[in-house]
Structure 1
Amino acid sequence: MTTQQPDATRLDRNWDELLQELRVTQTGVQLLSGFLLTVPFSSRFEDLDRVQHATFLAVFSGSVLATALLVAPVAFHRLLFRQHQRRWLVEAANLCARAGLTVLALTTSGVLFLVYDLVVPRELAASAGALTASLFVMLWVVLPLLVVRSRGVDALTEE
């Protein structure tokens, strides 16, 4: 049996944990965006076909969107600092983090497809991209849900 913490203490702890998680993802997605910024200026960029150009634009847009989603909680906090909006901050940051992780997984899978497409036949590149997306789903969604399911309802009340 778990003891319930006071709401404000739990919200503070949730906020702190979420910020720690966001620090990891923010750095990664910003590095990815920076790397992608250099691609159009490389000498080989002109050699890309229509699909590769479209894929590049999609993954670059995805990295910008993921950055916006994963950094948004910091902006929320700055605007709402000392406004007694902790519950909204935690809920909105959680939604942004989940959406940002989803976009990051899709973007990373797209980047893998693009790199593979430059090296191997497109069918293999598509398979590699799909396998990567599947890996993200398995590790980031299925595995945690299996853990919760195997531990029962009490695992949902633990934080």
Structure 2
Amino acid sequence: MAEHTGETRNEQLTRNVGELLQELRVAQAGVQILFGFLLSVVFTDRFHDASGFEKSLHLSAVVLAMASTALLTAPAAWHRLLFRTGSRERILTVGNKLVLVGLVCLALAITCTVALIAKVVYGEISMIIMAVLSVLIFGTLWFVMPIRLNPADGDQPTGPPK
């Protein structure tokens, strides 16, 4: 039996896979909207007049959004391909790592996009300020705070109180 929940190991793995896939639905919506926006920018008249640096920043955002899409959809694809093969634990272990890297790519893609917009609209200083601010916000909310909220003692439950 799994600790704290009264579930069997298989029930816990099934629930964890379901939770992972549900979390991916939330992240994927954001990356799809961003990716669509980035792809459409290339077809505007203003983009053709952009500097080489601005085009490079845009391409960096596109590549990061593409990588994020691939990384965030991989666990769902793996689940479909490996359904009922007894691979849930491996899907969760590797899938969790892929999702974390995918979230880093998503945060960087958004940062590049925000920096590009700030550069085009307000200039280089605004670009730097917005990029730093974006990295700080994502880094703090997505990575620093969860690490700090994690109980020091691994035996403590991490879910909400009942």
Shared fold, TM over 0.5:
yes
| Structure 1 portions without partners, runs of 5+ | none
1:1-159 aligned within 5 A: 2=4, 5-148=7-150, 151-154=151-154, 158=158
Runs (4 or more) in structure 1 with deviation over 2 Å come to 1-6, 154-159
Deviation at 1:154, TM superposition (A): 4.5
Q: Runs of 5+ in structure 2 lacking a partner?
A: none
Q: Is the 8 A contact 1:2 1:158 kept in 2?
A: no
Q: Aligned partner of 1:117: which letter?
A: K
CA contact (8 A) 1:109 1:133 kept: yes
Q: Number of aligned pairs?
A: 157
> What is the rounded CA distance, in whole Å, between the counterparts of 1:15 and 1:59 in structure 2?
29
Q: Per-residue deviation at 1:146?
A: 1.7
Task: Name the CA shift for 1:143/1:51 in 2 (closer, same or farther; >3 Å).
Answer: same
Letter of the 1:63 partner, please give it: A
- Following superposition, the deviation at residue 152 of structure 1 comes to 3.3
Q: CA RMSD in A?
A: 1.7
Taking structure 1 as reference, are residues 101 and 46 closer, same or farther at Cα in structure 2, changes over 3 Å only? same
SS of 1:127's equivalent in the other structure is helix
Kindly indicate whether the alpha-carbon contact (under 8 Å) linking 1:66 and 1:103 is maintained by their aligned counterparts in 2: yes
**Counterpart of 1:41 in 2: which secondary structure?**
coil
Shift of 1:156: 5.7
Q: State the TM-score, normalizing by the size of structure 2.
A: 0.90
Tell me, in whole angstroms, the C-alpha distance in 2 between the residues paired with 1:156 and 1:26: 31
SS at structure 2 position matched to 1:100: helix
Deviation digits for residues 7-53 of structure 1, max 9, x if unmatched?
11211111111111000111110111111111110010111111101
Counterpart CA distance in 2 for 1:2 and 1:50 is: 56
Deviations 1:98-126 (A, max 9, x none): 11101000110110000000111202211
Task: Give the number of the structure with larger relative contact order, counting CA–CA contacts within 8 Å between residues 6 or more apart.
Answer: 1
Q: 1:156 to 1:38 in 2, by over 3 A?
A: farther
Q: Which has the higher helix share?
A: 1
